[in-house]
Structure 1
Amino acid sequence: MIPQTPVRDWERHVYDFLTTEIPDEVREEGRRLVTDVLSATVAGAVAPQHEQVFREAAMAEGGASVLGTNRRVDPSQAALLNVTAAITQEMEEGHNRGGHVGASIVAGAVGVAEANDVAGKEFVDACIRSYELCTRLEYALFAMKARINDAVPWLVRNPHSTWTTVGPALTSAVCLGLDADQCRETFRTAANLAVVSMHDPYAEGAPSRNFTAGFSAQAGVSVATCAAAGLRGSAAAIEAVYDPFEDILGDGEFDALFASLGDDWWLTEAYHKQYPSCRYTHAPLDALRAAGVDGLAVDDIERIDVSTYRNGVDMSHTRPQTTTAAKFSTPYVLARWIADGELRLDHFGGDALEEEHVQALSERVHFHVDDELEAAFPESWGASVELTTTSGATYTGRRAYPSGDYRDPLSEEAFDERTRALLALGLGVESDSEAVERARRALDDVETVPVGETVEALSRQ
């Protein structure tokens, strides 16, 4: 007989939370999450490295839109493409303790919500609840990650996949109107399912890299669809897979993570990106800006020394040749800022990557591990920078965490500017056009209208 009740206290906390009332201030953060991810998704759909696949891949027709296009496919296949697009521009939100779970939750399930004529408020609330669960699961996974990688170095690589099947699965279950029993089986199945990429080729920038996130979301939506038809999950897996987290975290912390659901809202600590690049590059850039280097030219720079936490040092590759590689290259990001005094979406592809003075400067950026910043990670993702000019002058700056962090949030004006830029790119219009304004209003009103109306405003006409 398959157990019908939770087999662990933390599992019970999960199911109790699915009906917990959401405070208004948290729901506003949920609306901001949806705006962040959906605008990034629209922009990612037109990325040159994916555009042909999005247009020509054979897929079943259905009631779910591929955002930023005029294509409608089966919801699980829409999840594949939409989540791939959501992470492509490196502008989607994230959480210091929980990775990039929002992209899979929102972009993965929006097609299910559209196809089933779900109300905006119901969708936003489902995304919030999934976010709270997934950030906690990711936090525990990160604690285990070092041990896993010591044994099998390639096993857990891409933070956009692996355990992010749970988010789109549960959000989809709500949007499909599944009952409590079916939601439990959805969670049990998704919580025992991981889409593992054996290598995260961010430095190479292979186009397939972003699809790993899409495959994870597609799996999550498929779990909910199958649970609706009677698929049952494994109660034993809840014990076998998750009991080790109690030992790794210690002192009952794993159970406490889920006992805090409904009281401690992790969504309120989400970050929103100011720059269209990997967040590991942001604190070094903020530190460079804090050093007061405005007015210096590329040829004035002898070297730039970056001190940061160990994960940030991994972003040290120079002379990137692809869009994704450039977004994950701190040397390129710093060199581009020195050259142009800004960082735009179009700085990561095409002719921009051919500019020799920028690429040459990237080779003069050097990295060092800072023990203090390493100890503060992942609560704070900090960096310090020392720039030395050819004349021997030095400029120094330091940041404890990047701009856009919940402790230094983007202003409403800055958030609106980034949203408009993403929508304009994806819709192929100017940022002050009526199409962008219509899409922006639709995102503002996402809670008050059916999801289908919001999606319509985010599609190419």
Structure 2
Amino acid sequence: MLNLASATGVAREGSSAILGDWIAGFNLADVPDDVVEQAKSCIVDSVGCVVAGTSARPSRLLLDTLERYGGVGDVAIPATGKRLGTLPAAYFMAQSANALDFDDSFRSGAPCHPGATIIPPALALAQAVPCDGAELLRAVILGYEISLRIGRAVQPTPERKAEVYGFSTWQIFGAMAAAASLLRLPRAAIIDAFGIAAVHAPVPSLRKLGTEDPRPYPWTKNTYGSASEGGVLAALLASDGYVGSRTIFDGDRGFWIMSGSDRFRPELLTEGLGTTWLLREVGFKFYGCCRWTHTMLDALRDCGAGVDPDAIETIEVAGFKELFGLGGEAPTSIVDAQFNPQHLAALELLGRSPERGLADEDLVDPRVSRLRSKITMIHDPSADEAYYASGALPVRVTLRLSDGTTRAAARQDPSGSAAAGNSPEAIDAKFLRLTGGVLGGDRARSSLSTLRNLENHSIAELIAQIA
């Protein structure tokens, strides 16, 4: 196994050089079949999220702005009939993938939503290169493995994480690695691309924009658009000889501290590289809302089945600090609703599960409002340890009914996660559910077949089905 120096020293070869070697020599034929199939599931899931997400109001406004000021280009934008340049297309598709909050998640050592900063920018650049489906698969696998390893290596301590945190800050390297793969950059250019991407990384904004500011919730959300555009730009610049820092991760002033972290564990960059595939641990979201709320929704489904919502007197939700910090004022937009546990719980109990997505009319429905007011959020400090140690999402819900009885349920691993289990069939069903109303049933099924057999198709064929 490759060894790097400690966090306070500079690696003998340099972290960027070691990762650059691996990317440059990566061969899709060496990837286990189940990892390739998992990559296809991630692509199916992400494309479905992009197609459905283009109709969200923030996406429509964003597309209008990018058209006016970014100009028309050659990259087709799914489900819109419009085209943008490569960089604005990467930005737009990444934001659209996250718009409905259905995009994939990872919990093992670096909680995040990796797909939005890997697959949409890769799909944008793949049209400009152009390339075939096998090359896209290779790029996606590289993007996940690089992004998640860097994410784990720069994760802050729980104490620091409570103060400063963000996903897209380090997820920019997923977009960069995927773009470097599609461009077939040599080792030296990849090393430069790491350095260029690092200084384009968005600031770690979660603590300000996600928990401190009053509502409405900002539509930039996790700023995946900026991370995706910056990652692709870094690879394009490096391909033309632009020079970046070649030791960006290493030393006392490396990317880890630039990103707001208080530690760097460089051994996690290469631990199991090429043998332990982090893609296997990527989970999928079957509710269109913040992942932190999913165990609550699963538990409500467990104990609330068959319960008349009008018979519920009170609802208590006890869980980890991050869940407790969500919510607050009644949501005024779909984006607000994605992060409002009380609203989401009310929908689940009323038979309007967020698995179907969220609807504007529910924001002003008096039945939703009444049930929402009966919900009390409780911070359970004992749940924090599992959250910070392994990314678990421990929650316990208790329903007290008008007849004096109670119902309770607890969950730790959300449905669709790697720990709880998922299947390609469930992901395919989600894809058809999300895209059928946009593309029509026949086009949705045809594009799903192409995605599941991606190595036998060109990107042009795929785009023709979803554009």
Change beyond 3 A, Cα 1:237–1:9: closer
CA separation in 2, counterparts of 1:163 and 1:410? 27
Question: Which residue pairs with 2:298 in the alignment?
Answer: 286
Aligned residues: 440
Question: Which residue pairs with 1:178 in the alignment?
Answer: 185
Match status 1:453 vs 2:461: yes
Equivalence map 1:174-323=2 (5 Å) = 174-196=181-203, 198=205, 199-201=208-210, 204-206=215-217, 208-210=219-221, 212-239=223-250, 240-242=253-255, 253-291=265-303, 293-323=304-334
Change beyond 3 A, Cα 1:411–1:131: closer
CA separation in 2, counterparts of 1:229 and 1:288? 54
Post-superposition offset of 1:278: 0.9
Q: Which of 351, 355, 361 lines up with 1:351 in the alignment?
A: 361
Kept in 2, the 8 Å contact 1:298–1:339? The answer is yes
Kept in 2, the 8 Å contact 1:205–1:323? The answer is no
Normalising by structure 2, we get a TM-score of: 0.87
CA separation in 1, counterparts of 2:15 and 2:271? 7
CA separation in 1, counterparts of 2:44 and 2:222? 21
Change beyond 3 A, Cα 1:104–1:196: same
Post-superposition offset of 1:322: 0.7
Match status 1:375 vs 2:385: yes
Question: Which residue pairs with 1:166 in the alignment?
Answer: 173
Post-superposition offset of 1:132: 1.1
Kept in 1, the 8 Å contact 2:215–2:329? The answer is no
| Structure 2 counterpart of 1:442, one-letter code | T
Change beyond 3 A, Cα 1:330–1:51: same
Give CA-to-partner distance per residue, 1:383-427, whole Å, 9 cap, x none: 111111122211010112111111222334322221111112443
Question: Which residue pairs with 2:56 in the alignment?
Answer: 47
Q: Which of 375, 378, 391 lines up with 1:365 in the alignment?
A: 375
User: More deviation in 358-367 or 279-288?
Assistant: 358-367
CA separation in 1, counterparts of 2:62 and 2:138? 32
1:304 match: secondary structure = strand
Q: Which of 79, 86, 89 lines up with 1:68 in the alignment?
A: 79
Q: Which of 398, 401, 411 lines up with 1:399 in the alignment?
A: 411
Question: Which residue pairs with 1:132 in the alignment?
Answer: 145
CA separation in 2, counterparts of 1:196 and 1:390? 48
Post-superposition offset of 1:256: 3.8
Structure 1: state its 5+ residue gaps. Answer: none
Kept in 1, the 8 Å contact 2:51–2:78? The answer is yes
CA separation in 1, counterparts of 2:155 and 2:336? 23
CA separation in 1, counterparts of 2:409 and 2:306? 16
Q: Which of 28, 32, 41 lines up with 2:37 in the alignment?
A: 28
CA separation in 2, counterparts of 1:50 and 1:454? 22
Post-superposition offset of 1:13: 3.4
Structure 2: state its 5+ residue gaps. Answer: 1-9
Kept in 1, the 8 Å contact 2:119–2:140? The answer is yes
Kept in 2, the 8 Å contact 1:281–1:315? The answer is no
CA separation in 2, counterparts of 1:261 and 1:435? 38
| Structure 2 counterpart of 1:281, one-letter code | T
Post-superposition offset of 1:108: 1.5
Post-superposition offset of 1:243: 7.0
Normalising by structure 1, we get a TM-score of: 0.88
Change beyond 3 A, Cα 1:389–1:229: same
CA RMSD for the aligned pairs?
A: 2.5
CA separation in 1, counterparts of 2:231 and 2:429? 32
Post-superposition offset of 1:318: 4.8
Q: Which of 427, 445, 450 lines up with 1:442 in the alignment?
A: 450
Question: Which residue pairs with 1:107 in the alignment?
Answer: 120
Match status 1:325 vs 2:333: no
1:238 match: secondary structure = coil
Identical aligned residues as a percent: 23
Post-superposition offset of 1:183: 1.6
Match status 1:81 vs 2:92: yes
Post-superposition offset of 1:232: 1.0
Change beyond 3 A, Cα 1:322–1:406: same
Kept in 2, the 8 Å contact 1:316–1:366? The answer is no
Kept in 2, the 8 Å contact 1:315–1:328? The answer is yes
| Structure 1 counterpart of 2:45, one-letter code | D
Change beyond 3 A, Cα 1:8–1:315: farther
CA separation in 1, counterparts of 2:217 and 2:385? 32
Kept in 2, the 8 Å contact 1:34–1:106? The answer is yes
